[in-house]
Amino acid sequence: MFKNNKNLAIIALIAIVNALGYGIIIPILYSYSKRFGLTDFQNGILFALFSLCQFFSTPIIGRLSDKYGRKPLLIISIAGTALSFLITAFAPSAIFLFLARALDGITAGNIPVASAVITDTTEPKDRAKGFGIIGAAFGFGFIFGPAISAATVGINASIPFLIAAAISLVAVVITAIFLPETNKNMGKLSHAKLFDFKKLASALTNKTVGATLLLTLCYFMAFSLFIFGFQSSTVQVLHMSPTGISLLFSLFGVLGLISQLVLLQKALKIFKVKKALLFSLTWVATVFAIMFFARSVVPFVIASVALGLVNNFVQPITQTILSEETEETEQGEMQGLNASYMSIGQIIGPILAGALATISISAPFLGASVLTVVCIYLAIKIFSHKELKLV
């Protein structure tokens, strides 16, 4: 696909930048913030701030890319990410950490815009593979991001953030020089609000895209429940060491890369879009249920491996369906709305997980499984009344 569409290589780089930044920050941000005297509650706000800002910004950036082009919005958003890393590295006080996370969230629309580039430059039959490349790039970043942190944080706590900023700046330069403008419908978008709460809410009841957006919301809620349950269960139930947890996290990255580069294409070839989505959701719901009952390391690790092999199918397939349901002139806006529902799921999910954990440490896994079953129902609903080209 890179040979036939060189734009995908640049999009893959942008996804790698996002994943590297995330992978570098997540292992060390908590301890880094402790240097500034933040409490655990304040840390929770710090982590939530990114998703809150991303929720508001992504529809705006997506719509602006429909109106003014993909390239300028990509450059602005990646540059914002680079600046946020630099602010974090040189932060003189805690308020600058909050400013940095807010800035990163505000300019976090590069993946929805990158998704719109894929829609602009690929045939419908190739879009799942194109979106899969983004997932594969994230897998690559999740492998090397924590490794970068581990290798450099001992030298100076600011170095990982400086490396993340440098990688982002390289992506800005490459995008500016090599990525052509792919939006052929600039100026055709009707005038409307850049952020429309009514439209965001009404999109869920839209007969064309509503069920797909709701599926995204439920799935990201489920995955946020899983992330919370993973952290609490590995420490309090399985008593795993930080090294073991880090190794398992890196394993997710390796499996995600294999899944996106090899398994997704094979699954789509064998099952097509409809069966591949239903299969992957059923698999994930089952794995979450197994994790709920796991009380020793071996079955939990086996379940984690099983999850890593299939979990990465859901998002690219859902994005492919959404692109089919959306007019060409609104691809950026719709991918932005989709990303906003991802953010809502990532905001609600941890709060729900915390409430469930007061009942049982493993309860978030059960909640994640139930939500994924809801996703299966929504997928059946989507395919029951739509004639999509890719089914």
Residue 136 neighbours by CB under 8 Å, 6+ apart: 12, 256, 257, 259, 260, 261
Using alpha carbons, list the distances in angstroms from residue 311 to 52, 286, 308, 321, 372: 24, 12, 6, 17, 11
Please indicate, yes or no, whether residues 306 and 206 belong to a single structural domain of this protein: yes
What CATH number is given to the structural domain containing 59?
1.20.1250.20
Please count the structural domains in the chain.
2
Please indicate, yes or no, whether residues 227 and 175 belong to a single structural domain of this protein: no
Tell me, yes or no, if the pTM score tops 0.75. no
> In the prediction, which pLDDT does 10 show?
78
27-45 tens-digit pLDDT:
677 678 778 887 666 776 7
Residue labelled with tokens 């894929």: 118
The reply to whether 358 falls in a domain is yes
295-319 tens-digit pLDDT:
898 999 999 899 988 887 888 888 7
Contact 318, 219 (CB under 8 A): yes
Please indicate, yes or no, whether residues 166 and 258 belong to a single structural domain of this protein: no
Contact 204, 214 (CB under 8 A): yes
The reply to whether 187 falls in a domain is no
The reply to whether 147 falls in a domain is yes
Please indicate, yes or no, whether residues 10 and 111 belong to a single structural domain of this protein: yes
**Containing domain of residue 258, as a range?**
198-391
Collect the ranges in the chain with pLDDT lower than 70. Answer: 1-5, 27, 30, 39-41, 44, 109, 135, 139, 187-196, 242-243, 245-246, 328-330, 332-333, 385-391
> In the prediction, which pLDDT does 222 show?
94
Q: Report the alpha-carbon distance of residue 368 to residue 184 in Å, rounded.
A: 40
Contact 67, 150 (CB under 8 A): no
Please indicate, yes or no, whether residues 334 and 210 belong to a single structural domain of this protein: yes
Using alpha carbons, list the distances in angstroms from residue 295 to 41, 104, 224, 290, 309: 29, 38, 21, 10, 22
The reply to whether 188 falls in a domain is no
Given 145, 180, 215, the domain boundary residue is 180
> In the prediction, which pLDDT does 82 show?
92
Please indicate, yes or no, whether residues 98 and 220 belong to a single structural domain of this protein: no
> In the prediction, which pLDDT does 18 show?
75
Contact 14, 78 (CB under 8 A): yes
Closest CA to 36 of 158, 145, 152, 146: 158
